[in-house]
Structure 1
Amino acid sequence: MNTRLLKLESTALPRRPAWKLPLGILLPGAVLLLAEAGVRSGLIPANLLPAPSEIAGTLFYLVQNGLASHVISSTARVVAGFGIGAALAVVLGAAVALNRRVDALLDPTFQALRAIPSLAWVPLLLLWFGIDETPKLILIAIGAFFPVYMGVVSGIRGVDRKLVEVAQLYQLSRTALARRVLIPAALPSLLTGLRNGLSLAWMFMVAAELIAASRGLGYLLSDGRETSRADIVIAAIVLLALLGKASDSLMVALEKRLLVWRDNYDNEAVR
């Protein structure tokens, strides 16, 4: 009897394939093929959109001529600025979500500052801090701050009231309540905010390096524009896309590891 039940359960469970077709590369691959064909046939002006093969050659040339220093400079700025902005967002977001007075004091100002475009900060930061690394890091931190802040606040405020009531029955202190109930329950929203903040950190990094930088991918974009080299501009955009995707994949892996306890809807479970 038990053997029969085990067989029925094994046949009822969906079987995952041993390998997955990398569907994510189909769209970029099709775009590259169409672009290559369009440039080769003369339908697309090569000076406006170089062929992907030419862009690959440009990337190879840049690798041989100091591309690593540009990538390292941009990545270091993103890591530092994102770390500063995310840390401040977690602390202030938790304070706003847990205390009504802090909420009334800080949240209106944060919501107003959140509406300011990134480029509007650049002149002020340059006036205050010059063209050194400080204004770049501050601008990136500003970009990372608000998505993480919103994720923390919405996550904590969205915690099920029943969980809080059960914690109060056990007479947990406010610190224990935050550590054992609120923060774990808000973790999905926090991690979503971190992913969004990381993507904005890359965007704000480009804005910072376009204004004043001698190293970085933003500098390559500006240099390609000034020299009318569309291949350099597109090569820098491709590198930004790859680095952004790689950093987001790291965040996804962290999210899966930290949220392994969740039992929720998964596309893999429905076929």
Structure 2
Amino acid sequence: MTAAVTTTVRTTPVAGEDEAHRVRGRRRLTPGRRLPAARLAGPALLLVLWATASAAGQLDPGAVPAPWTVLRTAGHLWSAGTLPTDILTSVERAAYGFAIGLTAGVVLALASGLSRVGEALIDGTVQLNRAIPTLGLIPLFILWLGIGESFKIAIIAIVVYVPIYLNTHAALSGIDSRFVELAEVQGLTRFQFVRQIVIPGALPGFFVGLRLGVTGSWLGLVVLEQINATSGLGYMMFQAQNYGQSDVILVGLLVYGVFGLVSDSAVRLVERRVLSWRRTLSS
């Protein structure tokens, strides 16, 4: 009798054991939350390889200066006041262009994604704009806006708004029809449907476009600041090219790279917090 009772107790599943197995299974499938510092592993390895090759004499100092030479040059430019002024000018241009492009991309995507008339009027025009190389518009914008700051900001805005529009519009168009049927069953108004279903469903696509737009603003700035500019990182690099100062060029490229990485990381951080409800392999 005792043995029978003992056997029964051992074969009875412990409460919550199945749930624990499922949790452990999900943990095995999920790589885990990536730390922001882990993204610096690749750049750090590249820096080590660069320093090693320079110390071993494998790189021509005139073409690719050593990291310590670039760092020393950056210190001289900073102490002279040149680098802070150029950085501030570049950040202002990128910020203005990005703000305008972000606003235009979101507004056009909502107008096109939520209305058939809006899609008929907007989507084809944006697709046409996307097919035209943005940098090819520079001569035309110079004729329209002059060679001052306006055309630079306008080009950056175009570079930014296109990916934001495309990804947000695609996310809006990809809302599952089952959610539409559910909203009709629940009797949601159009405003409630947009606020509770459409916007949350479009946020992942919006953040993809936002990341592309942030990167694009810095990429466009590299070219634009070499056209009739008197300050900015691109202007500094253009002047260094005329004098054969490769170390100054590398300083500008590294600053652009740091800004691009920092801005992308900031967008990823906001995305992770806003979309905390969404479980992905990288969450």
Report the TM-score range of the alignment, normalised by the length of the smaller protein.
0.7 to 0.9
CA RMSD of aligned residues (A): 2.7
Equivalences for residues 160-239 of structure 1 within 5 A: 160-239=176-255
Alpha-carbon spacing, 1:20–1:259, altered in 2? closer, same or farther (3 Å): closer
Rg: which structure is higher? Answer: 2
Q: Read off the aligned partner of 2:84 and give its amino acid letter.
A: A
1:198: Cα distance to partner?
0.9
1:111: Cα distance to partner?
0.8
Q: Read off the aligned partner of 1:179 and give its amino acid letter.
A: R
What percent identity do the matched residue pairs reach?
Answer: 31
TM-score of the superposition, structure 1-length normalised? 0.88
1:240: Cα distance to partner?
0.5
Task: Tell me the equivalent position of 1:139.
Answer: 155
Report if the CA contact (8 A) 1:148-1:190 is conserved: yes
1:121: Cα distance to partner?
1.6
Task: Tell me the equivalent position of 2:280.
Answer: 265
Equivalences for residues 80-99 of structure 1 within 5 A: 80-99=96-115
1:20: Cα distance to partner?
6.5
CA distance in 1, matches of 2:128, 2:108: 16
Superposed CA offset, 1:128-187 (max 9, x none): 112221111101100001000011111111111111111122333323221221011111
Pick aligned residue for 2:269 from 230, 253, 259: 253
TM-score of the superposition, structure 2-length normalised? 0.84
Report if the CA contact (8 A) 2:215-2:264 is conserved: yes
Pick aligned residue for 1:35 from 29, 50, 53: 50
| Structure 1: unaligned runs, 5 residues or longer | none
Report if the CA contact (8 A) 1:118-1:207 is conserved: no
CA distance in 2, matches of 1:182, 1:11: 33
Confirm whether residue 106 of structure 1 aligns to residue 118 of structure 2: no
1:33: Cα distance to partner?
3.1
Report if the CA contact (8 A) 2:98-2:213 is conserved: yes
Report if the CA contact (8 A) 1:35-1:51 is conserved: yes
CA distance in 1, matches of 2:270, 2:176: 24
CA distance in 2, matches of 1:10, 1:252: 26
1:37: Cα distance to partner?
3.5
CA distance in 1, matches of 2:94, 2:166: 20
Equivalences for residues 122-133 of structure 1 within 5 A: 122-133=138-149
Q: Read off the aligned partner of 1:222 and give its amino acid letter.
A: F
Give the total of aligned pairs. 267
